[in-house]
Copies of this chain bind each other. A is one copy, B any other.
Amino acid sequence: MRIGKVINSIWATRKDDSLIGTKLMIVQLLDRPNDELGRIIVCADIIGAGIGEKVLVSEGSSARNMDSFNSSPIDSVIVGIIDEEKDKSDEVPKNA
């Protein structure tokens, strides 16, 4: 999976019937070293991610392994919303 940030929603009135009712979000991937910006992709979302949230994105055939997308041409989905990315920074705990 990749980490990304939701930057907007996107709409397509003319689309494949299997996508009707699917919420689509534009996600900026954050998968590059040295904080470079990654690619911009469009993900289906049934978790309810909001703009600005950091999310976990799954791609490829794995994306269709969520029940809602078994038979749709979806190749990327938001599978979770990241709580807190405890990474290598020397941050001071907020509850200290």
Name A's B-contacting residues (CB within 8 A). Answer: 1-3, 7-16, 18-19, 24, 26, 28, 30-34, 36-43, 46-48, 56, 58-66, 71-77, 79-88
Q: Are B62 and A74 neighbours in the complex by a CB distance under 8 Å?
A: yes
Copies assembled: 5
Q: Are B31 and A40 neighbours in the complex by a CB distance under 8 Å?
A: yes
Min C-beta distance of A71 to chain B, whole Å? 6
Q: Are A13 and B75 neighbours in the complex by a CB distance under 8 Å?
A: no
Complex: how many Å from CA A82 to CA B48? 21
Min C-beta distance of A81 to chain B, whole Å? 4
User: Contacts A47-B14, A60-B61; is A26 near B87 (CB within 8 Å)?
Assistant: yes
